[in-house]
Amino acid sequence: MRRALVTGGLGFIGYHLCERLLYEGYEVIVIDTFQEEKDIEKEEKWMRIGRHDLLTFINDSLENMDLKSLLKKVDIVFHLAALTHADSKWPRLTEVIEKNVTVTERLIHACRSKTKFVYTSTVEVYGERPGKITEKTPTNPTSPYGITKLASERLIIRECKKKGISYYIFRLPTIYGPWQRGDMMFQQLLLGKKNVNLDRSTIDLVYVEDCVNGLLLAANSENENETYHLSTGKVGEWFRALSLIDPNHPKLTQQQPIVQLSADKAEGDLGFKVKTSLKEGIEKQRQHVEQWQRQVK
């Protein structure tokens, strides 16, 4: 039986990944932090998967743990944990670096040489640029989040090479679907909020279960030490999704740069394909929002 460790396993993508790993028969170790009286969403996720025999939950921060002992028998690490809500504010850059880079280094140093290391990065490492973006496009991050993610990427490449650890870096666009974070634009619109935050990236859009499929393809891939996009490969997908949620949103009337996030490498190496249509994905997220609102009232 394979054993996986998931950091941030009660977060948006992490929760869906844990569900899928358990379904696939993995033994799963989840590292995350929450206080039941303060985080009802994480509590609900824990109620849904926490009683599974193959799952172990550690309610602690990565900075405080004996990672080497924990990772002795782990086959694959999915490192998803990162600051998100306040990480776009420059005054907190030192804290963001501590959380997103230093912790990544500690994880790698605790891994065995046979461990696979899967890291979720971001398309923000490219900054703002038009045209077709491939994994070879020069990086130019302009946000603290993009800067720290790129720093972590470079650290992973360097340190994994030293230890002989196989790594997979996934530069993700906006991910949407049930349990999307409350600070993300589509979730806020579906909740009926008026003054909403614009997503940090509008380059592309991938449904969360398709994203999980891509991450899991790395677990069984013979390719290693690679960087991939998980993307539709289409132009304007994020804006098409916005039009399904709010056809009259003023953002839709503004001229947008033509940007295409290439899907060729992940399709060729991993066989990755986006399977969920925008209409289906948005409807699933809408239904989940409605059900959750009824539940918490």
Give the predicted TM-score (pTM) of the model.
Answer: 0.94
236: left (phi over 0), alpha (psi -120 to 50) or beta: left
State the pLDDT at residue 168. 98
Number of domains within the chain: 1
Q: Which residues contact 49 (CB under 8 A, 6 or more apart)?
A: 15, 18, 19, 22, 55
199 within domain boundaries: no
189 within domain boundaries: no
What is the SS3 assignment for 220? coil
Residues lower than pLDDT 50 in the chain: 86
14 within domain boundaries: yes
State the pLDDT at residue 36. 63
CATH of the domain at 172: 3.40.50.720
**Residue 181 tokens, joined:** 């974070």
12 within domain boundaries: yes
Instruction: Name the one residue in this structure whose structure tokens are 């289906």.
Output: 280
Q: Which residues contact 66 (CB under 8 A, 6 or more apart)?
A: none
State the pLDDT at residue 94. 73
248 within domain boundaries: no
State the pLDDT at residue 37. 62
Burial class (CB in 10 A: 0-12, 13-18, 19+), 243: middle
Parent domain of 210: 3-179+206-231+263-275
106 within domain boundaries: yes
Query: H-type helices in 131-236, by residue range?
Result: 144-163, 185-190, 208-219
pLDDT in tens, 243-260: 999 999 998 988 888 999
